[in-house]
Amino acid sequence: MTRKGPLAINYEALWQEGMKDWQGQMPERMVNDQLEEQFWSQSIARKKMGQTDPYAAQIFEEMKKHIQPQHSVVEIGPGWGNYTFPLADYVSNLTCVDSSDSILAYLQHCLQHKNHVSYVHAKWEKLAETELAAHDIVIGVNCFYRMYEIKAALYHMNRLAKKRAIIGMTTGPIQPHYEILHDKYGYDIKFPRRDYIEFLNLLYEMDIYADCAIIPLKRTYEYETYEQLVTTQSKKILSADFNRSHVEESLAPYIEEKNGRFYYRHDFHAALVSWQPK
């Protein structure tokens, strides 16, 4: 059922608008499968075998509240395995669905002795009705950014989850120096264009009342030089011309130098949106 009424909002259209860049254009990587495959191939090449993001373990612990070892699990868009590796050690059956050959080859290599893990090469939102059997749990974390037909993606999650569907998304706030650059100096900033709240709205529109857990997280960016730090932490400034001294002043409260290296610590959050399938 889709909700109707005078206050009805087309949340899928809002999601699709949020996929565009700050000039109102769809980025090439959003529509070019070859470019996306190149991105993942290069990303995997830079990874150590089995390397995951440090904050992922905290998210997985929250996720485990909905998962039992005897459950079968589908993971959508596993990427470099932040949740694939712990899931493979925890559940009886795991199916990884991804549109990237590089990702699936990497995971198969890392998990070659895990016979209970299988792989499906497909675009989740384009999944055929008979392409995948139902599993107890369907999970997708930070994997929806290229899914234009987002309601189809959510439909497949709801259809194929027997016990629980779980969406994970890392969220704000943005690194705090960007807030200073915007509020104090008036710079245009690449603030996030989509967030977890849109999943809640999309599901509500589908007559699904989802739960949402917010997890506080910490991330530390490490840089070999001060120049590298300033350059990297200026990339979200949209304004064509900006004063470097403004960036340095805004960064100063958040930087620590230790043994010739520079560290920027950032508090942010993850959201876990989950529901019992209808």
Examine residue 243 and state whether it is found in any structural domain, yes or no: no
> Residue 223's pLDDT is what?
97
* Mean of pLDDT values over 180-189: 96
Range of the domain at 143: 11-174+189-217+268-275
Examine residue 165 and state whether it is found in any structural domain, yes or no: yes
Residue type present at position 231: T
Examine residue 223 and state whether it is found in any structural domain, yes or no: no
Of 255, 174, 169, the residue nearest 214 (C-alpha): 169
> Residue 197's pLDDT is what?
94
Please tell me the pTM assigned to this model. Answer: 0.91
Residue type present at position 238: L
Report the domain count for the chain. 1
The CB density around residue 46, as the number of other CB atoms within 10 Å, is: 8
Identify the CATH number of the domain in which residue 157 sits: 3.40.50.150
Q: In which element (H, E) is residue 40 found?
A: helix 33-45
Model confidence at 7, pLDDT cuts 50, 70, 90, reads low
3-state secondary structure of 57: helix
The CB density around residue 113, as the number of other CB atoms within 10 Å, is: 7
Of 139, 155, 153, the residue nearest 16 (C-alpha): 153
> Residue 5's pLDDT is what?
53
Residue 37, pLDDT above cutoff 90: yes
Examine residue 68 and state whether it is found in any structural domain, yes or no: yes
57-112 tens-digit pLDDT:
999 999 999 999 999 999 999 999 999 999 999 999 999 999 999 999 999 999 99
136-168 tens-digit pLDDT:
999 999 999 999 999 999 999 999 999 999 999
> Residue 87's pLDDT is what?
98
Q: What proportion of the chain, given as a percentage, has pLDDT over 70?
A: 97
Residue 124, pLDDT above cutoff 90: yes
Examine residue 224 and state whether it is found in any structural domain, yes or no: no
* Mean of pLDDT values over 183-196: 94
> Residue 3's pLDDT is what?
56
> Residue 15's pLDDT is what?
94
Residue type present at position 188: D
39-72 tens-digit pLDDT:
999 999 988 888 899 899 999 999 999 999 999 9
CA angle 63, 65, 68 (to 5 degrees): 100
> Residue 250's pLDDT is what?
97
Examine residue 76 and state whether it is found in any structural domain, yes or no: yes
Examine residue 135 and state whether it is found in any structural domain, yes or no: yes
Of 250, 265, 241, the residue nearest 177 (C-alpha): 250
Examine residue 1 and state whether it is found in any structural domain, yes or no: no
263 with 221: CB under 8 angstroms? yes
How far is residue 188's CA from residue 242's CA, in Å, rounded to a whole number?
10
How far is residue 252's CA from residue 272's CA, in Å, rounded to a whole number?
32
